[in-house]
Amino acid sequence: MTRNRTTLRTQSLGQLGLRPAPRGAPGLDAWIFRAASEHPFELDGAVPLCAAEDPDLFWPATEAEAERARSVCRTCPLAAACLAVAQRRLEWGVWGGELLAKGRPTTELPGNVRPTGHDAARSA
């Protein structure tokens, strides 16, 4: 029996020109900070506005929830960078104001459930 090895190649935040959000940032509750760090970066000291929201909002079950998630992204200073990273990482849900499936714009709602095997902390 022959075994084949598969090498997985991933990009680190440094390769994308980003850095992880600092752990234990002042003023953030633990669960909120976890959500912010799962949306993996800050840029020039900016904190993503989604850090103050329930992370499940960004995997909407209804069009109204999708619109609410998009409205959070509209004024976020990191929206463009967030969308670019999500497209590179083939993410699901609302990122940078766009509803994505495998990193591509879609109109299909994910149903407020993160895709099976999705581990944002691991992929960051």
Q: How does pLDDT run across 26-57, given as a tens digit for each residue?
A: 444 444 444 444 545 556 667 788 888 888 88
Look at residue 97 and give its three-state secondary structure.
coil
Residue 21 lies in a domain: no
Residue 122 lies in a domain: no
Is it the case that residue 13 has pLDDT exceeding 70? no
**Total structural domains within the chain:** 1
Residue 54 lies in a domain: yes
User: Where are the strands (E) in the chain, listed by range?
Assistant: 93-95, 98-101, 104-105
Rounded to the nearest angstrom, the gap between the alpha carbon of residue 14 and the centroid of all alpha carbons in its chain is 16
Residue 5 lies in a domain: no
Residue 42 per-residue DSSP state = B
- Domain containing 94 equals 30-114
Residue type, 59: W
Residue 19 lies in a domain: no
Residue 123 lies in a domain: no
Residue 3 lies in a domain: no
Q: Over the stretch 71-113, which tens digit does the pLDDT of each residue have?
A: 999 998 888 988 998 898 888 889 999 999 888 998 888 665 5
As a whole number of angstroms, the longest Cα–Cα distance in the chain is 56
pLDDT for 89: 87
Residue 50 lies in a domain: yes
